[in-house]
Amino acid sequence: MHPLDREYFRRFTQDARAGGRSLSDHYLAIQRDHTGSDPSIRPQQELGLRLALAHIRPQDRCLLMGCGGGGEVRWFQAHGVGHLTGLDISPQHLAYCRRTYGIQTVQADMRRTGLPPCAFDVVIARQSIHHLFYPFEALEEFARIARRRVILISEPMRTALKQSLARLRRRRTISGANIYEYNFAPDDVHRYMAFNGFELRACARHVEAVQLPPWANRVLNLLPGLANRFTAVYERMEPVAQASSAESDRP
C-alpha cells in the first residue's frame, strides 16, 4: 500500500471512531455535499439514460436515488418522465432540485430510506451506489420500496482492462476528493437482485468516457469488450397488488 494511502486510512478510522460513526457512515458524511453536485449530463453519458428510459411508463411514479444536483431529473423531465421524486442525503442538493425542477424530495440515506414497502413503481439510481462502502445494502432497500422495477444506470464495472490500465497509471485507491469507487461484477448484482425477488429484464454493458468526445464513445461502443459501465433493469418476479388511492398519493 502506498504510504499516503496508509496514513489516510489510519486518520479516517480515527476520525470515524472519534465521531462515534461506522466507517460507512463517516465516509458518507465526508462526501454528502460534494458527490453529484454537477447538474450537467454530457452526450457521452446519455446511453445508459436512454436504455433506462425505454423501461419507464408515462404513469410510473419514479424515485431517483442520489439525485444530487438534479442532472438526471432535468434529463428525465425533458424526455417525458413526469412523476419524479428525488432522494438524497444532502439538504443542499435537495433544496436546489426543489427550487430548480419543482419536484418532491426525500432527505434520507439510500440504504435506510424510511419509506414504506413498494412506495414507488420504479426506483432509479444512476452512478450513485458505487460511492457506498456497502452498495448491496442499498440494493436491498431499492428492492423493498420498488413496486415494479429497479433500474441501475451507468454503474462502473470491474474489468481486467480497467485494472491493467490502473496499474499502468499507478492510480491511487483514494483520490484527492476522498471518493471511493466500488467496481461491480454485473452477474453478482443480478444474482443479488434475484435473492431480493427481482429478475433481470435487460442489461447493457457500454463505454462511458467523459474525457473523450461523443464520437469516440460511439466508436468504442462498437467493441463490447471495452465496456466500463453497465445499465440494468430488474423487474419484480411476483406482482404486487395495486395500492389504494390514498397510498398512491404518498411521496
For every residue of 181-213, DSSP letters joined together read ---B-HHHHHHHHHHTTEEEEEEEEE---TTS-
Q: Is residue 169 a contact partner of residue 143, using CB atoms and an 8 Å limit?
A: no
Q: Quick one: pLDDT at residue 126?
A: 95
Q: Quick one: pLDDT at residue 36?
A: 61
Give the bridge partners for 109, in sequence order. Answer: 112
Q: How confident is the model at residue 165 (pLDDT cuts 50, 70, 90)?
A: low
Q: Is residue 154 a contact partner of residue 221, using CB atoms and an 8 Å limit?
A: no
Q: Quick one: pLDDT at residue 249?
A: 46
| Mean pLDDT, residues 167-194 taken together | 72
pLDDT at 22 over 50: yes
What pTM, to 2 d.p., does this model score? 0.83
Q: Is residue 233 a contact partner of residue 202, using CB atoms and an 8 Å limit?
A: yes
Q: How far apart are CA 45 and CA 96, in angstroms?
A: 22
Closest C-alpha to 129, from 114, 115, 106, 150: 150
φ, ψ of residue 77 in degrees (nearest 5): -60, -40
Domain ranges of the chain: 1-31, 37-248
3.30.40.10, 3.50.30.30, 3.10.300.10, 3.40.50.150: CATH of 37-248: 3.40.50.150
Q: Quick one: pLDDT at residue 23?
A: 82
| Mean pLDDT, residues 50-55 taken together | 96
Q: How far apart are CA 183 and CA 154, in angstroms?
A: 11
- Extended beta strands in 18-83, E state: 62-65
Q: How far apart are CA 63 and CA 147, in angstroms?
A: 11
Q: Is residue 176 a contact partner of residue 147, using CB atoms and an 8 Å limit?
A: no
Q: How far apart are CA 218 and CA 207, in angstroms?
A: 8
| Mean pLDDT, residues 234-250 taken together | 66
Q: Quick one: pLDDT at residue 234?
A: 98
Q: Quick one: pLDDT at residue 244?
A: 40
| Mean pLDDT, residues 111-132 taken together | 94
Cβ neighbours for 152, distance < 8 A, ≥ 6 positions apart: 125, 126, 129, 189, 230, 231, 232, 234
